Structure 1
């Protein structure tokens, strides 16, 4: 993914990057094959769902945001589509484990309630609600993802930010 001839901008491990990519693609595969639980049923298959690729430029956007100040940010930068943000007070959690928790946090609202429609579209209700993050993960036009993580022990928080190309 990254290496001596292909450096990534963030100061975290390739294991974190691989986990971020693999988990995104795992949940996308669930949706693509009709195995994504949405409330009391399963989602329709998503034939246009493609596997995401990891993108260093998107990682840089996320990393620039989480490292911009001495303190960690406490909310998403834009609040719009194309960004998933996670904050936890378990700041001493290893980054890979923290990412797994972030994915659970982002995915659980979909499992509990679903989008509530046959053909979901990105509406203001989704953008401003609990389903925003699952919608970003599942956006069928996304082809790339890049994530960053930062521990801010003085604040007692750890933050994760992921960016998408759509």
Structure 2
């Protein structure tokens, strides 16, 4: 509105306490405020009196208010995992994507150099169907990736934690940390293209972090299962990801290639919303 501040400068939100709009308190999802939406339908109080020779009838209208709260992507119908588990899995993906998108993540391909910033890196949402695929596989405790026909429409990262001296939250954090360490530990050429040579590496592999960073991918779901003597984690990423010959993400000024639309980028985070 004319004369009003476009936005309030400052750091991204850290919790729902910081997401107030009027009397409404929202949720903080990975640095972005998500506000509950309330729609009210009000009938103006009106009394109508009808009189006939034998009787008098009075009719009064009432006021109805309907409240609709925005569903978070981590609100899955399955009770296999807690909301905290899902939020940690999603948050670690988005937080790392944010670091890379804003040029703050070290790239091990070169000494003392960061990965280039992204002109488009989408904010991820949690995929409940992907979680179910991941759970179905992780429950087998087979310690290997499943073939594509068993996960139609998705690509997979897996991780084996050879200890039981933790819990599900510790295991999922360990798994995702191992995925993202490939950028710092092994490195990707600065053009960020997944060439056949990069894809087929047998040492210094980066195919797991490439799935995490695939710029146009928006959906991930994970599952961790306690097996006999180890934790098995599977994360599923909706295809297309890891397409050989394509860019892992587009390089350029932060957010400059985000799709047009309202609230299509938070510059502090560097991730495109939609």
Shared fold (TM-score, shorter chain, > 0.5): yes
Corresponding residue for residue 34 of structure 2? none
Give the aligned partner of residue 86 of structure 1: 159
TM score, norm. by length of structure 2:
0.53
Structure 1: state its 5+ residue gaps. none
- Paired residues, what number? 157
SS at match of 1:86: strand
In 1, Cα distance between the equivalents of 2:200 and 2:87?
27
SS at match of 1:15: helix
> Which residue of structure 1 aligns with residue 116 of structure 2?
44
Q: Within 2, Cα distance between the matches of 1:109 and 1:48? A: 21
Which residue does the alignment assign to 1:163? 236
1:62 lines up with 2:134 in the alignment: yes
Deviations 1:40-96 (A, max 9, x none): 2101111110110001111111111112x4xx1211213898211000111241111
Q: Flag the 1:121–1:18 CA change in 2: closer, same or farther, 3 A.
A: same
CA distance in structure 2 between the partners assigned to 1:14 and 1:118 by the alignment: 37
Q: Report deviation, 1:21.
A: 0.2
1:32 and 2:101 are equivalent in the alignment: yes
TM-score normalised to the size of structure 1? 0.85
Query: Are the aligned partners of 2:115 and 2:190 in contact in 1 as well (CA < 8 Å)?
Result: no
Distance 2:197 2:224 in 1: 27
- Matched ranges for 1:1-166 at <5 A: 1-2=74-75, 6-8=76-78, 11-39=80-108, 40=111, 41-67=113-139, 69=140, 72-78=141-147, 82-121=155-194, 123=196, 125-126=198-199, 129=202, 130-152=205-227, 155-166=228-239
Task: Assess if the C-alpha contact under 8 Å between 1:146 and 1:163 holds in 2.
Answer: yes
**With CA pairs under 8 Å and 6+ residues apart, which has the higher RCO, 1 or 2?**
1
* Cα separation, 2, equivalents of 1:78 and 1:110: 25
Partners of 1:127 and 1:53 lie apart in 2 by 29
Query: Deviation of residue 32 (structure 1)?
Result: 0.8
How far apart in 1 are the matches of 2:100 and 2:238? 19
Q: Could you give the per-residue CA deviations for residues 87-126 of structure 1, whole angstroms, max 9, x where no partner exists?
A: 0111241111111111221122210232124132253642
For the pair shown, which has the larger CA radius of gyration, 1 or 2? 2
